[in-house]
Amino acid sequence: MTEAIKGTIIACVVVALLIVSAILLYWLCKRRAALRAAEEEETKKLLPEESPVPCLEEVKVGTLAALEGCFSTDGILDAEGTKPDLKGDVVIVEMRPGLSSFETYQSYALYHALGIVGAPIDKSAPVTTNNVQVFCGPRGRTPEGHRWILMHVLHPEFWRVYAGGRGARAITRDLAGALSSEDFARCVQREVRRHWGDGAPFTVEVDSMFVDFNEQIRYFAKGLASQPGVEERGILPHMNAPVKVCCYAQNMCNAALEGVRDAVRERSQDVSSQGARR
């Protein structure tokens, strides 16, 4: 056998070995990819049962979905500010700080629209919760037949809201905590039962005009959205009724929603931290 033939045979063997090696390598890669895909699929199936903490995005979406409908650009009054713009029976919650200084209802748009200017203010039976006084005001009916009850929520140091800074945050946090408390919910439900009967459907509308700056309403909304139970039941979780926070303008509503996102973000970080420690 000549050297040329030997060289050709060796070359053919080498090529054959390379082809076989390439085929084996391709098969191994394909097999590995299939095993990895099967492993990932199995992990996905097990994850909901094994992981006690939902991922961050799930927490955010779930919480925002429960809260976003509670804030509105609407006001309690119509566009002209002359009459209540109610869609049904409503408990109106207002927090005007000056109310504590007067014996009768003064000339204010809401009081004009409700027809109570000059009427005496009954502060005889307040309920105190979270350093905030709550008492029931007048009640009435709109020309369209919708009933309303006016509830007052007063903080003794409300002036700090306009000073800004930490004082404003503390006051808005107190107000949010008072509105979200079981005591306030019981107070509202008691008045509804007394005047409208057991099981009467109603909506709670919170007048946010007491905070006429974006910064303050952002703090207030964050306080409302930070309360336990809001993820499942929305704002004022003990109320067992629809709630609308009236922001009156788009920029105010946007600021309020930023406050909600602040609360959601902090809660999500807390949940993630707890999961990491387990």
Burial (0-12, 13-18, 19+ Cβ within 10 Å), 68: exposed
Percentage, residues of the chain above pLDDT 90:
45
In tens, the pLDDT along 242-269 reads 999 999 889 999 999 999 999 989 988 8
Residue 68: band (very low, low, confident or very high) from pLDDT cuts 50, 70, 90:
confident
Residue 40 is which amino acid? E
In tens, the pLDDT along 9-19 reads 776 766 666 67
- Tell whether the model's pLDDT for residue 118 goes beyond 60: yes
* Residue 9, H or E segment: helix 3-50
Per-residue pLDDT, 76: 94
Per-residue pLDDT, 56: 34
Per-residue pLDDT, 97: 77
Residue 54: band (very low, low, confident or very high) from pLDDT cuts 50, 70, 90:
very low
Options 3.10.450, 3.40.50, 1.10.357, 3.40.220; CATH for 67-277 is: 3.40.220
Q: Would you kindly state where each structural domain of the chain is located, as residue ranges?
A: 1-50, 67-277
Per-residue pLDDT, 136: 94
Question: Does residue 153 contact residue 133 with C-beta atoms inside 8 Å?
Answer: yes
